[in-house]
Structure formats: C-alpha cells, structure tokens
Structure 1
Amino acid sequence: MSTSFEQIPGLARPARDALTAAGYRDLESLDGVDWEAASGLHGVGKRGLERLQAALLERGLSMRNAPAPEERSAEWTRGNTGTGAPDLVTARTEESPAGYVEKLEGRRREHGRLLLEIFGRATGERPAMWGPSMIGYGQAHYRYATGREGDTFHVGFSPGKARISLYGLQGLPRSEELLARLGKHRTAVSCVYVNKPEDIDLGVLEELVRHAWETDPGGCA
C-alpha cells in the first residue's frame, strides 16, 4: 500500500516537493533511509522529519538511525477500541496469516512458517494480518499526548524480502538483556531487524517474544 506525502498531517508543501525531487515516491519509500541523509534535503525540517517518522512507525516501518521521539508519553492498553485517527491505513484484515505465508516465495515462506511456530508457542494466541504484510498477535490501543490514537497488535513480525522485521520486543524490562543474547540483528525505534533466522538464537527469540507478550504493551508495536 502506498501513502502519498499529502496524506501526512502537517507535512508542509516544501518538504513534500523536496522529497519528491529527491526520488522518494511515497512515505513507504523512506523505510530504511538514513535519517541524516533525509535531514540534508532542503525544505525538509526537523518537525517534518518527525512527522514522517511517526507515520512510518504507525505502519511498522522506520528510517534508519532515527532518534527516539522527544515526546514518548502515551497511554497503552490491551485490547482494541475501534477508535483511531482517520488517516490510519494499517488495520487488521481478514486474510489468513498461514495463507499469506504460503504465497511467499522461496526462503521467505520457510521463514514465515518458522516464525508462525515461534510466536504461536510464545503467545498461545492465534495470529492476524495487519495491513498487507504484518502478522500480529493480540491487540493494543494507544493514545498519544497529542490525542492521536489507534489500535495495533501487541507483538508480531513481517517476513520481508530483504529482512525479517520483529515488532513489540523493545523497551521492556528484559529487552536489553535478551537482545544482547539474540545474535546478529539491528534495531530501529519501532522494531528489530534480522537478516535470516540462522543469524540468531531462536530459543532466545522465543523467550523475548514470551516476555513481551506477558508485559503490558508500550510504544514499540
């Protein structure tokens, strides 16, 4: 799904024009782009970047090396309310996660099957699709200090072509300890990136998912 820059609340036209001129066709094309590189574009100020990053995080994406948001105060509760900002595009769908995984190609299919097993054991929950490519477990509702709110999943993953994205595993009491034992990975504000399952300790991953599941949700979904 493509999100035009015009759909990002508060993003000024100079910033939109600068991004388009630099070759970024939509919000999703900024996923993995270095924060400093984006900040060097004439017309894209700090506030505009913060709005773009916030929109990316809501979709389970992130710019690389993005600083933590200055304001993190938010209320998180388990469960869903059905109330959200009108421009939110990532929502729970009726597609079968297992069916989605079986449509993936090559090793992505193997990775998806493996992660379905690990997350299923760790949570004891049935998965659901969120948006076109994220598989989530449980539901949580967030409300930021600005009043912006929405529903999302508690923990989840996405078996992407270039990397596996793991959601909801950071900012918890044992996150740093467990991530230190996980193996080769990198982190962004909203997720943990892994190139392939062989790079990490799958037992530690399952422990990390179980810990996140048993901990009240926070700002890392």
Structure 2
Amino acid sequence: MAQNKTVETENSATDFLNTLGDEIKKNDSLQLLNLFEEVTGFRAKMWGPAIVGFGTYHYKYDSGREGDAPIVAFSPRKQAISLYLSTEFKDKEFLLSQLGKHTKAKSCIYIKKISDINTDILRKMIANSIAEESKSC
C-alpha cells in the first residue's frame, strides 16, 4: 500500500512561515498560527512541506488505507491561503455566510488575506471543527 505523502514532521511552523516572500501572506499566516493555537489548544506542527496543522486524528478507510492527519490546518499557497477544517461541523453554512470574502471546495476554504474575513467567525468554525472531530473519536 502506498505511503501517505503528507505526514507530520519535526520542522518548525514558525520558521516555515518566516520564509514566505510575500510579507502580507507571511504576516497573515503568523496571525493564523496564533489564532489556531489559541482556539485549538494545540501547538502548530508541520505536515509535509507546507501545511501547518493543529491536533491529530487517525483515519481508516474501507479500502484499508489508514493514517494520521491534522484535525484543522492551513497552508499559505501561491494564489490563496487554504484553510482545512472538518467537512461537516455545527452551523457550517451559516458561519460560511458570515465569514467574509472566500471561496470553498469540499474540504477547504480559500482566503486571499486575513483582513477579508471575520476572524471571530473563523474562531467559531475552528472550534466547531474540533468539537466535530472529538465526537467521532
């Protein structure tokens, strides 16, 4: 069976974020790191080369594939910052409608900059994602 590509590493999340060339993205990402740590109570860990994750859970698919992943995470990508939250959590659609400027896919939310969003709403979304994951453990 293939190995998971995105695994937890010992690399420093802060060091990674400080290497970002775009000053706005770097500052936004450092703010997000602090916000996620505050809300989750977990220390930031690097997952692969570019995902900053918080907490961990173990998953196992019907196919037999299993592994570990962060409960919530973000990644500063070239076009946007990707926010990885639970695919289902309490009040998801309502909170998304209140978040501010973003786009979304099935399992992630994309923001251009932190000033585009309501960080109090993001805090609720992170907290609800953590609560959802703790129900499934």
Residue number among 37, 41, 56 corresponding to 1:120 in the alignment: 37
Q: Does 1:215 align with 2:132?
A: yes
| Structure 2 counterpart of 1:156 | 73
Extract unaligned runs of 5+ from structure 2.
none
Q: Which amino acid aligns with 2:3?
A: D
Q: Secondary structure at the match of 1:95?
A: coil
Q: Does 1:143 align with 2:49?
A: no
Residue number among 75, 79, 83 corresponding to 1:166 in the alignment: 83
- The CA distance in 2 between the partners of 1:171 and 1:116, in whole Å, is 22
Q: Could you tell me whether the CA contact under 8 Å between 2:88 and 2:132 is conserved in 1?
A: no
Q: Does 1:98 align with 2:18?
A: no
| Structure 2 counterpart of 1:184 | 101
- The CA distance in 2 between the partners of 1:153 and 1:217, in whole Å, is 13
Root mean square deviation of aligned Cα: 1.6
Q: How many residues align?
A: 134
Name the TM-score, length of structure 1 as normaliser: 0.57
- The CA distance in 2 between the partners of 1:217 and 1:163, in whole Å, is 28
| Structure 2 counterpart of 1:89 | 5
- Which of the pair is proportionally richer in strand? 2
Extract unaligned runs of 5+ from structure 1.
1-84
Q: Which ranges of 4 or more aligned residues in structure 1 deviate by more than 2 Å?
A: none
Offset at 1:169?
3.8
Name the TM-score, length of structure 2 as normaliser: 0.90
Identity of matched residues, %: 37
Offset at 1:173?
2.3
- The CA distance in 2 between the partners of 1:95 and 1:217, in whole Å, is 26
Q: Could you tell me whether the CA contact under 8 Å between 2:8 and 2:45 is conserved in 1?
A: yes
Q: Could you tell me whether the CA contact under 8 Å between 1:108 and 1:161 is conserved in 2?
A: no
Change in CA separation of 1:101 and 1:211 when aligned onto 2, cut-off 3 Å:
same
Offset at 1:214?
2.2
- The CA distance in 1 between the partners of 2:87 and 2:120, in whole Å, is 17
